[in-house]
Structure 1
Amino acid sequence: MDWSAAWSVAATPPGGAADPQALTRQAPGWLPAEVPGTAAAALRAAGQWGLDDDRDFDAEDWWWRSRRQGAPGPAVLRFGGLATIADVWLNGRPILHSESMFATHEVPVTLSGDDELVIACRSLNTHLATRRPRGRWRTRLVEQQQLRWVRTTFLGRMGSWNPRCAPVGPWRAVEVLPAAGSAQAQRLLPSVDGDRAAVEFAARWHGATPEAASLAVGEVRSPLTVGAEDDQAAGVLLSGTVTVDGAPRWYPATHGTPALLPVRLEITAGGATAVHDLGTVGFRTVEADTADGGFRLSVNGVPVFCRGACWTPTDLVRLWDAPDRLRAAVRQVAEAGLNMVRLPGTGVYEQPEFYDLCDEYGVMVWHDAMFANLDQPLDDEAFRATVDGELATWLTAMQRHPSVVVVCGGSEVEQQPAMMGVAPEVGRNRVGRELLPGAAAALLPGVPVVACSPSGGTYPFHPDEGISHYYGVGAYRRPLGDARASGVRFTTECLAFANVPAQQTVEAILGEGDRPGHSPAWKRRVPRDRGAGWDFEDVRDHYVATLLGADPVAVRWADPDHYLALGRAAVALAVEATLAEFRRPGSSCDGALVYLLRDPWPAAGWGLVDSDGRPKSAFRATARACRPRTVLLRDEGLNGVRATVYNDLPEPCAGVLQFRLFDADGTLMDSVDLDVDLDARASREVSVDGAFGYFRDLGYAYRFGPRQVDVIAATLRGGSGESAAAVLLPGGHGRPRVGDIGLRADAVTAGDGWALTVRTDRFAEFVTIDVPGAEPEDDFFHLAPGDARTVMVRPLPGAAPRSAEVGALNSSHSHPVRLDGGAT
C-alpha cells in the first residue's frame, strides 16, 4: 500500500541543512505536495511556478516530509524512484542514500505507529561541480555535460523543446509493505515453444514457510516448489513452471487480438489460503530479421509493419499521471491504427500502468534504456554497478509484458560522436553493446536487442542500413521523393515538424492581441536544435512553399489564421505521403515512428497531439496512412497512379473498390468498381489507369494535352459496412481559395454527442471541424465533389458545446453548425 499520508515540500540553499534537525532550525516555507511527484509539480499546483518560468530546480536542495499514523511493527519501505541524489530518514534516523533516479529500494524498518519520513533531494548542480573526467565528446542536447556521471533523465533539462522542469523528488510511489505475508516476484516469464506456452516463476515469500503454494495462469493451476528458509531476510524461495496448453497468442491490435491471461499466486499457511494478484501475461514470439541490413519484426511468425510514434510522459512536469488519462492516451494510439510507441533514451521508464495498457490495447513498445548522446563512464566501477542494477530492475519488470518487443541501448549515443568525427571504435554505446545483450539474454530472452538508436551502416545516421533517425523529409528539407531514394530500413524517429495545434490551443498559448509567428510566447515553445540558426517552424514553412506554392512570410503578414491553416496542411501532406511510401509493398522500410506523439506543453511542437491529447493535422494524416484496413493512392510517375488496398487484420476482406474521376468544376467524368478479395494480413496493388481499361494519363505524367482530371477519389467498401477513402490531386495541392464550394453541415444528437454530417458540392480540401469544448473523431480529410461524411463529435469532460464551424483549406467561407438546435 502507498504511504497514505499528506506530503509537503520545501527548498533550501544547497548544503544548507545536513539532516532533518538542521532543517528544523532553518524553518523553510513548506508547500503541499503529491507523491509520486516532483518539486516543479508541487510549485505548479501552488501557483508558484509556470511552464515558461526559468527556475533551475537542480540548483537547490529539496526536502519532502510526511507523518503517518498506522500499525506499529516491522515493515518494508519501498521507494520506486528518487530523483536524484537523495537521503532518507525515518523518525530522524538515516535509512537510505541513493544516487540514481532509476533505482528502486526496499528498506526493512520498524514502524512506531506515528512515523515521520523525510527525504532530501540534493542539488544536482552542486553534486556535478565535483571535478570528474570529461567525456570524449559533447552534445548540445543538454547544457550540463557531466550528466553522464549521474543516472537521471534529460527531460526538463532540454530547454530547446520542453519546459525547464528538471525532475526532483520522489517521482515514483513510496509504499509500505508488510514484513510478513508478501511475495517479491523475481521472475514471471512467459514463453512459447511451438504449441506449448509456459510461465516460469520465482519469488521470495516473506513470512511463515507456506504449507503449499501454487501459481494460476488463466484457468490452469500448478504447484510451486517451496524452498527452505536459509536466510530470514531473503525469505522463502517459491519456484515452478506452469504449462498452458492451447493458450491464445498476443498480437498487436493491427494484426490480431492482444490476448492476455490473469496470473494469481496462491499461498496456504496456517490453514488459510491467500490469493495474490500478479497482473496479466501474454504469449507471443518476436523475431527480428536483420538480413541484408534490414530490421523486420515478426510477431508469432507474422511480419508486422511497425508504425507509431515516440512517447513522452502525459504529464512531463510530474512524470506520473492518473490511470484514466494514461488509458485515454494509449487508447488514442490504438484507435488510430498505430501499433508501436518508442520510449526514447532521453526520457524515463514509465509508470507500471503504462505497460499494462499497452498489453491490453495491443500497442507494441520499443523500449530504450535511458541513455542518450553522452559518453558513458563504464570504466568507473561504481557507475557500472549502478547501471547493472538499473538494467536488471527494468528488464525484470518487463518480463510479463508481451507489448515490449524490442529493447535498445539508448538514443543517439553513437550518432553524436560519429557526426563529430570520433572514430567508430571510440564512439560506441557501451551500455548497448557490452551490458544490455547479456542482461537481456538472462532476464528477457526472446526479445530482440538493438545496440543503439540509430545504429548500423557505414555511419549510424545513414538510413539505408539498420536503425535510423530519418529527417530527410523534415529537418533536412528534402523533397518527398527522398523517402524512397534514401532506402530507409527502419526509422525509430522521423517527420518532426512544428505541428500547429488546434485553434483552442493556439489561443491558450498567445496573450491577448498576440498573433502566431513572432510572438515571444509562441516562438519560445517552437522546438529547435540548440545552436542552429533555424527552428522547426522554418522547416514547416519550407514545405508550405514547396507543396502548396504559397509564400509563408507573405501569408503570415496578411492573414495569420490562413498561415496556420497552410502549415497544418503542408505537414499533413508530408507526413501522409512519407508514411504511405514507407508502408508501400516493395518498400525497403519495415517500420516508421514519428517524433513525437505528444507535446510536453501547449505549443506548435513536434507532437502529433497537443499536451492535452487533442489531435493535430499530423495525427489525422498518420492515422490515414496507418489504419489496418484501408486504401492509399500514390502517383508513380510514368507508371501511372496506383492504389494499394491493405488488410492487416486476421480475417479476410471482401469488398468493392471504386475509383471516380472529377474535373475542375466538380463534374464526375467517369467511375469504375472493382471487386476486391484479400486474404488475412495481405495487400493488393491496383493500377488506377488500368482499372478504366484504356490509357488516360491520370497522373498527368505524359502531358500530351491539357490536364483533364482534377480529382481522383478511391473508396473501399467492405461487406460489413466499413469504408475507407483516399484522394489524389494530379495538379497538386496548391489550389487557390475560392468563395462558396457548397460546403455545409448539420448535426443530430447521437448518444452522448452528435453525428455531424459534412457535405460539399465541389472538392473540399482538408475539411476542418472546429468545436470548442468537444472533439471530432476525425477531420483534416478531403471530400470529393458531391460527397458527404458523418463524423461523431463528443464533448470534453465538463464542457457543454453549443456550436461548431466547418471549413476547408480551399474555401474562404466557413459554415456554422448549431449543436443545441438553435438557429445559426
Structure 2
Amino acid sequence: MYRPLHDGWTLTAVSDEVDIAGIPATVPGCVHTDLLAAGLIDDPYLDDNENRLTWIGRTTWSYATSFTWHASGDGSGGDDEIDLVCDGLDTVATVVLNGAEVASTANMHRSYRFPVRHLLREGENSLQVRFGSPYSYIDERRAELGDRPGSYDEPYQFIRKMACNFGWDWGPTLVTSGIWRRIGLHSWSGARLASVRPVVTLDGRDGRVQAHVTVERAAGGRPAAPLVVTASVAGVTAEARLAPGERAAVLELSVPEPGLWWPRGYGEQPMYPLTVGLGPEAPEQDTGENRDTWTRDIGFRSLRLDRADDAFAIVVNDVPVFVKGANWIPDDCFPTRITPERLAQRLGQACEANLNLLRIWGGGLYESTEFYDRCDRLGLMVWQDFPFACAAYPEEEPFASEVEAEARDNIVRLAPHPSLVLWNGNNENVEGFADWGWREKLDGRTWGAGFYYDLLPRLVADLDPARPYWAGSPYSGAPDLPPNDPSRGTVHIWDVWNREDYLRYGEYRPRFVAEFGFQGPPAYATLRRALGDDPLTPDSPGVRHHQKAIEGNAKLLRGLGDHLPAPETFDDWHYWTQLNQARAMTFGIERFRSLAPYCMGTIMWQLNDCWPVVSWAAIDGDARRKPLWYALRRVYADRLITFQDGGVVLVNDRDAEWTGELSVTRLALTGEPLAKGAFQVTVPARGTLPVRFPATLATAGDPTSEVLTARLGEEAALRFFAEDPQVAFPEAEFDVAAEPVPGGVRVTVTARTLVRDLALFPDRLDPAAEVDDMLVTLLPGATATFLVRAPGELDPAALTRHPVLRCVNEAAR
C-alpha cells in the first residue's frame, strides 16, 4: 500500500540572514514557488526580479511535516516492511524521521527508497527534509576535484541537478531546492516487485517480450516462501517460479502478429497493457502477503540506427524515418508547475506543427512518465539525452556512483515506452573537449569520457538492449574523429546564428542535423505581460534582461542582413525579427529535407521556452505560437516543394507516390506571366525528386520585379529572385473584411497587388486570441482567409489595422 505524504508541510530558512519560518509549503514543489505563493518574493519571470533572488540558491532550507501512524488498524501498519519512497529530491537533501537521520542525497535525477519501519512511532511522527545550498555543495566538490571548463560561468557540472537551473542563453538563473516529485510511505509484506524491465522486440511478425523481474523479499525472520511471477500481454501469459532465496526471473512472451507501433505519419500507435504479478506458489496459502502487481502499456516495434557509410538514420519496423524534430527544454524552471493539461497542450502543438520527434536536451531532465505516455500515444518519437551539457564533468566519486544510479533508475523507468528511440550520452561535451580548448584547461583531469564511452553504453546494452545508444551530439561515431563533421553522424550548426547569414545553410551537406536555430522575440502579449518597460523598445531594460544570448539583440539585427530593411520602430523590429527567424529556419529545413535520403533528419532548436524570453523557440514562454511555428507546420508537411539549385526538389514523406504535372511560372510582380513550364513527375514514396528548370524559368529578366511559382496538386511554393529590400514591391493594396463567427472572427483578405508575408497578431488586442495561419504571400487576385479565435469579443475593425495586420510591403520602401 502506498500512502502519499503531501500534506501539512512548512518551509523554513535555516539561516541567520533570512527570516522565513513555518510558511505553508506545497509538496511536490520547490522553495521558489512556496515563497511566491506566500507573497515573499516577486514573480521571477517579470522584469529583472530574477536578479534579486540569487540568495535562495545560497540558503539552506528545511521542509517539515507530521503524520500519524499506527502499527495496526488503519490499513497502513502491521506490515513487514515500510519504506519511505522519494521520487525526486532537489538536490542536496538530508532526510530526518523522528529526529533520526534516514539518509543524505545529492541527485535530482533519481528516486530513493529507504526502510523506515524501525523509526516509526505509534501516533504522531515528524518528517523533515533539509536541503543544503546547491552552491555550497558545488564549492566543496570543486575544491576537492579541481575546476572543470564549461560554456557558462556557473559550475553546474559539480552537482547532479538540472543544469539550466543555473541559467542558459535562453533561461534565468533560478537555483531551486525542494521535494519536486512524490514522497510517501510504501507498506508491504513478504515480497514485492522491486523492478520490472520489459525488453520489447519483433521476431518476424510476432512480438516478443522479455520481462526481467526483480523481487525484494522482506528482511523479517519468517522463512522465505516459494513465489510465482506471472506476465501477460495481448492474451499471452508466462509464469516463473522463484524458490526461497531466489530474487530474479525472466519471463518470455510471444504475441502473434500484434499491431505495430509507428511514428506519427507512418502508421498507428496500438498499445498493449503488460501486467506482471507476484504471488504465493500455492493459492490456498494466499494470505495477502507476497502479492504485488505492475502494469504498463507497451508497443511492439523494431528499432535500429542505420550507420552505413557514416549515415545516421533512425529505422523503425525496417522503415527509415526522416526525422522532423525539435529540441525540448524543461517547459518551466519550476517543473512541478507543468500539469498534464499543459503537457497535452505543448505536445499537441508539436504534433500540429508536423513534428515526429522531440529531443530531450541534456541540460534539462529525464521527463515525467506522463510526458512519455503522451508521446507513446501521439507517435512522437523521443530522443533522450542523458543530463550532461556544455561542460566537462568530473568522473570521480561521488559522481561516478550517482551517474550510474540515476542511469539505471531512468533506463528501467523508461524502458516500456515505444516512443523512446535513442539514448544520447551528452550535449556538446565531446565537441567541447575536441574543439573548445578544454583539453588544455583540464590538464589531464577527467571530463566525462568514461561516462559517454564506457559506463552509459554498458548500462544501455545491459538494461535496454533493444534501443541504440549514441555517445553524444554532435558526434561522428568514434572518439578519434572530428565530432562536428557534417559528413558523419550528427552535426550542430551554430555558425549561422552567431556570425553567418542564414543562406550559409545552403552550403551544408549534412547526414543529420541535431541542433540548429535562429532567434526571434516572443509574442507581443508575452513581452507586455512580463515587462513594465515604458516605452517598450528593442533596447529597453526589460527586453535586454529577457535576452540572455551573448550580443543577442545585435545578432538579431545583423541576421536581417539583406533580407529585410533595418527597423525604425519597435513594431517593425518585432515583426521583422520574428519573420526573419521563420525564414531562416524555413531555408535551413528545406535545404536539409531536399538532401534526403543522404540527410535523414533535422532537429531544430527549439520547440518551447521555460519563461518569457527572446529566444530560438517556436512556442514562447506563455505558450503562444510565434510565426516560426506556422513556418514549421509548412516546412515539416508531408509534401513539400522547395526551390534548390536552379530548380525544385519535390519531397514526399508519404507511403504513396506523388504524381502529376508540376506547373512552373515566372511572373511579373503585377501577376503577368513571363514564362511557363510543365513537367510530368512521379516522386517515390518516402522519397525526393529534383527537377531542373530551363534558363527561361530559372533566370529572371529583372530580378527586382519578378517571382517564380511552382505548383503540384495542392502544394505550391514561390521564390523571389532578389532580397526584399531590392524587390520593387508595390505598396500593398488589398480588400479586407472581418466578420464575427462562433468562437471568433473570420478575416478575409483579397489582394489587388502582390502582398508579401501577410500576418495577423490578434494577441495585441486580446492576450488570449490566436490565429490559425500566418505569413501568407498573395499574388494579385488571390484570397486568404484567417480564423481568429478568442474567448471574448474582438473588435473586427481592429483586426484589419496596423500593427495587428502586417505585411512586408505595407508601404513602398
Structure 2-normalised TM-score? 0.86
Task: Note the alpha carbon deviations across 1:405-463, whole angstroms, 9 max, x for none.
Answer: 11111112222232343559976632110111111101111322111222237532343
Residues 758 and 684 (structure 1), Cα distance of their counterparts in 2 relative to 1, 3 Å cut: farther
| Matched residue SS, 1:334 | helix
- What aligned pairs does 1:466-505 form with structure 2 within 5 A after superposition? 466-480=489-503, 482-497=504-519, 499-505=520-526
Say yes or no: does 1:518 pair with 2:517. Answer: no
Measure, in 1, the Cα distance between the counterparts of 2:294 and 2:628: 40
User: Does the 8 Å CA contact 2:167/2:174 hold for their aligned counterparts?
Assistant: no
Give 1:430's aligned residue.
Answer: 450
Residues 277 and 536 (structure 1), Cα distance of their counterparts in 2 relative to 1, 3 Å cut: same
Task: Note the alpha carbon deviations across 1:193-215, whole angstroms, 9 max, x for none.
Answer: 32231121133377896976532
1:582 Cα offset (Å): 0.7
1:96 Cα offset (Å): 2.1
User: Does the 8 Å CA contact 2:659/2:681 hold for their aligned counterparts?
Assistant: yes
Say yes or no: does 1:421 pair with 2:417. Answer: no
Give 1:63's aligned residue.
Answer: 62
Give 1:411's aligned residue.
Answer: 427
1:87 Cα offset (Å): 0.7
Residues 129 and 200 (structure 1), Cα distance of their counterparts in 2 relative to 1, 3 Å cut: same
Give 1:377's aligned residue.
Answer: 394
Residues 308 and 90 (structure 1), Cα distance of their counterparts in 2 relative to 1, 3 Å cut: same
User: Does the 8 Å CA contact 2:502/2:584 hold for their aligned counterparts?
Assistant: no
Measure, in 2, the Cα distance between the counterparts of 1:164 and 1:150: 15
1:653 Cα offset (Å): 4.9
Structure 2 runs not aligned, ≥5 long = 219-223
Letter in 1 for 2:750: R
Say yes or no: does 1:124 pair with 2:173. Answer: no
Measure, in 1, the Cα distance between the counterparts of 2:523 and 2:325: 21
Letter in 2 for 1:296: A
1:765 Cα offset (Å): 1.7
Residues 178 and 126 (structure 1), Cα distance of their counterparts in 2 relative to 1, 3 Å cut: same
| Matched residue SS, 1:247 | coil
Bigger mean CA deviation after superposition, 37-46 or 672-681: 672-681
Measure, in 2, the Cα distance between the counterparts of 1:183 and 1:748: 59
Give 2:43's aligned residue.
Answer: 50
Task: Note the alpha carbon deviations across 1:291-315, whole angstroms, 9 max, x for none.
Answer: 3333222222211221222111222
Residues 376 and 537 (structure 1), Cα distance of their counterparts in 2 relative to 1, 3 Å cut: same
Q: Which of the numbers 774, 777, 785 marks the counterpart of 2:780?
A: 785
Give 1:19's aligned residue.
Answer: none
Residues 466 and 569 (structure 1), Cα distance of their counterparts in 2 relative to 1, 3 Å cut: same
User: Does the 8 Å CA contact 1:338/1:626 hold for their aligned counterparts?
Assistant: yes
Measure, in 1, the Cα distance between the counterparts of 2:746 and 2:226: 59
Residues 12 and 738 (structure 1), Cα distance of their counterparts in 2 relative to 1, 3 Å cut: farther
Give 1:706's aligned residue.
Answer: 702
Letter in 2 for 1:477: E
Q: Which of the numbers 769, 791, 810 marks the counterpart of 1:774?
A: 769
| Matched residue SS, 2:756 | strand
Residues 332 and 282 (structure 1), Cα distance of their counterparts in 2 relative to 1, 3 Å cut: same
Bigger mean CA deviation after superposition, 616-625 or 429-438: 616-625
Task: Note the alpha carbon deviations across 1:242-279, whole angstroms, 9 max, x for none.
Answer: 21111122221032223322223355666789894622
| Larger relative contact order (Cα-Cα within 8 Å, sequence gap ≥ 6) | 2
Give 1:749's aligned residue.
Answer: 741
Task: Note the alpha carbon deviations across 1:167-226, whole angstroms, 9 max, x for none.
Answer: 211122213333248533331221123223112113337789697653232x32303213
Bigger mean CA deviation after superposition, 346-355 or 166-175: 166-175
1:716 Cα offset (Å): 4.4
Give 2:755's aligned residue.
Answer: 764
Measure, in 2, the Cα distance between the counterparts of 1:469 and 1:708: 35
Residues 95 and 418 (structure 1), Cα distance of their counterparts in 2 relative to 1, 3 Å cut: same
Measure, in 1, the Cα distance between the counterparts of 2:377 and 2:633: 20
Q: Which of the numbers 108, 111, 128 marks the counterpart of 1:104?
A: 111
Letter in 2 for 1:808: R
Give 2:462's aligned residue.
Answer: 442
Measure, in 1, the Cα distance between the counterparts of 2:471 and 2:696: 50
| Matched residue SS, 2:781 | coil
Give 2:221's aligned residue.
Answer: none
Letter in 2 for 1:103: R
Residues 813 and 63 (structure 1), Cα distance of their counterparts in 2 relative to 1, 3 Å cut: farther
Give 2:264's aligned residue.
Answer: 253
Say yes or no: does 1:172 pair with 2:167. Answer: no
Say yes or no: does 1:572 pair with 2:582. Answer: yes
| Matched residue SS, 2:562 | helix
Residues 222 and 196 (structure 1), Cα distance of their counterparts in 2 relative to 1, 3 Å cut: same
User: Does the 8 Å CA contact 1:510/1:516 hold for their aligned counterparts?
Assistant: no
Letter in 2 for 1:394: N
Letter in 1 for 2:388: F
Measure, in 2, the Cα distance between the counterparts of 1:420 and 1:136: 16
Percent sequence identity is: 24
1:88 Cα offset (Å): 0.9
Residues 383 and 427 (structure 1), Cα distance of their counterparts in 2 relative to 1, 3 Å cut: closer
Q: Which of the numbers 357, 361, 372 marks the counterpart of 1:340?
A: 357
Measure, in 1, the Cα distance between the counterparts of 2:361 and 2:470: 13
Measure, in 2, the Cα distance between the counterparts of 1:462 and 1:800: 54
Give 1:9's aligned residue.
Answer: 11
Task: Note the alpha carbon deviations across 1:724-743, whole angstroms, 9 max, x for none.
Answer: 43222223333577654215
Measure, in 2, the Cα distance between the counterparts of 1:708 and 1:99: 63
1:121 Cα offset (Å): 0.7
Say yes or no: does 1:644 pair with 2:650. Answer: yes
Give 1:227's aligned residue.
Answer: 242
Q: Which of the numbers 688, 705, 718 marks the counterpart of 1:727?
A: 718
1:635 Cα offset (Å): 4.2
Letter in 1 for 2:806: A
User: Does the 8 Å CA contact 2:6/2:26 hold for their aligned counterparts?
Assistant: no
Measure, in 2, the Cα distance between the counterparts of 1:516 and 1:66: 48
| Matched residue SS, 2:558 | helix
Residues 514 and 587 (structure 1), Cα distance of their counterparts in 2 relative to 1, 3 Å cut: farther
Measure, in 1, the Cα distance between the counterparts of 2:269 and 2:28: 30
- What aligned pairs does 1:665-684 form with structure 2 within 5 A after superposition? 665-667=670-672, 678-684=683-689
1:115 Cα offset (Å): 3.6
Residues 433 and 490 (structure 1), Cα distance of their counterparts in 2 relative to 1, 3 Å cut: same
RMSD, aligned α-carbons = 3.2
Measure, in 2, the Cα distance between the counterparts of 1:754 and 1:251: 38
Residues 744 and 699 (structure 1), Cα distance of their counterparts in 2 relative to 1, 3 Å cut: farther
The aligned length equals: 761
- What aligned pairs does 1:776-815 form with structure 2 within 5 A after superposition? 776-795=771-790, 801-803=794-796, 804-805=799-800, 807-812=805-810
Measure, in 1, the Cα distance between the counterparts of 2:310 and 2:403: 29
Give 1:821's aligned residue.
Answer: none
Letter in 2 for 1:304: V
Letter in 2 for 1:810: V
Bigger mean CA deviation after superposition, 670-679 or 613-622: 670-679
Letter in 2 for 1:582: F
Say yes or no: does 1:284 pair with 2:301. Answer: yes
Residues 753 and 243 (structure 1), Cα distance of their counterparts in 2 relative to 1, 3 Å cut: farther
| Matched residue SS, 1:139 | coil
Give 1:151's aligned residue.
Answer: 160
1:561 Cα offset (Å): 0.5
Letter in 2 for 1:491: V
1:81 Cα offset (Å): 1.5
Structure 1-normalised TM-score? 0.85
Letter in 1 for 2:532: G
1:101 Cα offset (Å): 1.5
Measure, in 1, the Cα distance between the counterparts of 2:739 and 2:229: 60
Measure, in 1, the Cα distance between the counterparts of 2:158 and 2:609: 28
Residues 312 and 788 (structure 1), Cα distance of their counterparts in 2 relative to 1, 3 Å cut: same
| Matched residue SS, 1:164 | coil
Letter in 2 for 1:395: I
Task: Note the alpha carbon deviations across 1:562-585, whole angstroms, 9 max, x for none.
Answer: 122111121111110111001114
| Matched residue SS, 1:224 | strand
